[in-house]
Amino acid sequence: MMRTVAAVAVAVLLAAAVAAEASSLKVGYYDKSCRGVENVVKWHVARAIKANRKSGAALVRLIFHDCFVRGCDASVLLDPTPENPNTEKTAPINIGLAAFDLLDDIKSAVEDRCPGVVSCADILIFAARDAASLLSNGHVHFDALAGRLDGVHSHAAEAQQDLPDSTFTIAELIQNFKRKNFTIEELVILSGAHAVGVGHCSSLRARLTAPADQILPAYRGLLAGKCAKGPDPIVPNNIRDEDAGAVAAAVPGFLPKLRKVKDFLDN
Helix (H) / strand (E) element for 211: namely: none
- Indicate if the alpha-carbon torsion angle 56, 58, 62, 68 is positive or negative: positive
Looking at 65, 139, 141, 155, which residue is catalytic? Answer: 65
Q: Any binding-site annotation on 153? A: no
40 is in an annotated binding site: no
> Is 66 within any annotated ligand binding site?
yes
How many residues would you count in the chain? 267
141 is in an annotated binding site: no
Q: Rounded to the nearest 10 degrees, what angle do helices 37-51 and 120-135 cross at? A: 50
Instruction: Give catalytic status of residue 141 as yes or no.
Output: no
Q: Is 73 annotated as a binding residue?
A: yes
194 annotated binding-site participant: yes
Long-range contacts of 15-21 (CB under 8 A, 24+ apart): 16/180, 16/181, 16/182, 16/186, 17/67, 17/71, 17/72, 18/145, 19/181, 20/71, 20/181, 21/71, 21/72, 21/148
Half-sphere exposure (Cβ direction) of 139: Cα atoms closer than 13 Å? 12
Does the annotation flag 162 for ligand binding? no
Beta strands in the chain (DSSP E): 26-27, 145-146, 198-200, 239-241
Is residue 196 part of an annotated ligand binding site?
no
Q: Are strands 26-27 and 145-146 parallel, antiparallel or unpaired?
A: antiparallel
What angle is formed at CA 134 by the lines to CA 204 and CA 182, rounded to 5 degrees? 55
Count of other CB atoms within 10 angstroms of residue 74: 26
Rounded CA gap, 222 and 248, in Å?
9
Catalytic residues: 65
Residue ranges for the binding site for substrate? 164
Residues in the annotated binding site for heme b: 194
Binding positions: 66, 69, 71, 73, 75, 88, 164, 194
Binding-site residue positions for Ca(2+):
66, 69, 71, 73, 75, 88
